[in-house]
């Protein structure tokens, strides 16, 4: 399965280590983890904002599901979630670190049947949520 992994790159990167953990967990289940932070997909040269947009939208379109770390605010991640849910209509798991109080109301209040938000306090808890999500949408 192809999993688009999203997390803050230019926004609040406080939780970026957890974003990287998502990529590792997805790969540990032998799925493809598409992400700018996955070394397998890292550009060898600097690319423009337009190229990043086109690349990421194409990655989303190729993906079966999306997993996003949403603890730190990121306009890009919010845009990607909206695109996944409303344009290409793929399931999204949003992971939120326990105790984060300032999550976007658009994320916290989303009622799409394709959207699941889960809190985690440790990598083990994160792995449990990811495993359940992957199992639910396994073809």
Domain residues for the domain of 63 are 2-137
Q: How many domains does the chain have?
A: 1
DSSP string spanning 18-54?
A: HHHHHHHHHHHTT-EEE-TTSGGG--SS---HHHHHH
Burial group, residue 101, by CB count within 10 angstroms (0-12, 13-18, 19+): exposed
Is residue 43's pLDDT more than 80?
no
Note the pLDDT of residue 139: 80
Domain CATH code at residue 8: 3.40.50.450
Can you give the C-alpha Rg of the chain in angstroms?
A: 14
Q: What is the pTM of this model?
A: 0.93
42: pLDDT confidence band, cut at 50, 70 and 90?
low
30: pLDDT confidence band, cut at 50, 70 and 90?
very high
Q: Of 77, 91, 72, give the one whose Cα is nearest residue 136.
A: 91
**Mean pLDDT across 58-66:** 96
Is residue 82's pLDDT more than 70?
yes
């Amino acid at each position: 399965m192809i999993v688009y992994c999203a997390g803050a790159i230019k926004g609040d990167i406080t939780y970026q280590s957890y974003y990287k953990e998502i990529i590792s967990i997805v790969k540990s289940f032998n799925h493809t983890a598409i992400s700018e932070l996955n070394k397998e997909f890292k550009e060898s040269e600097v690319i423009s904002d337009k190229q990043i947009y086109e690349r990421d939208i194409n990655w989303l379109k190729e993906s079966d599901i999306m997993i996003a770390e949403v603890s730190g605010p990121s306009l890009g991640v919010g845009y990607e979630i909206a695109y996944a849910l409303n344009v290409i209509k793929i399931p999204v798991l949003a992971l939120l670190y326990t105790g984060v109080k300032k999550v976007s109301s658009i994320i916290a209040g989303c009622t799409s049947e394709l959207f699941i938000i889960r809190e985690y306090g440790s990598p083990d808890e994160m792995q449990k949520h990811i495993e359940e999500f992957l199992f639910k949408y396994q073809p």
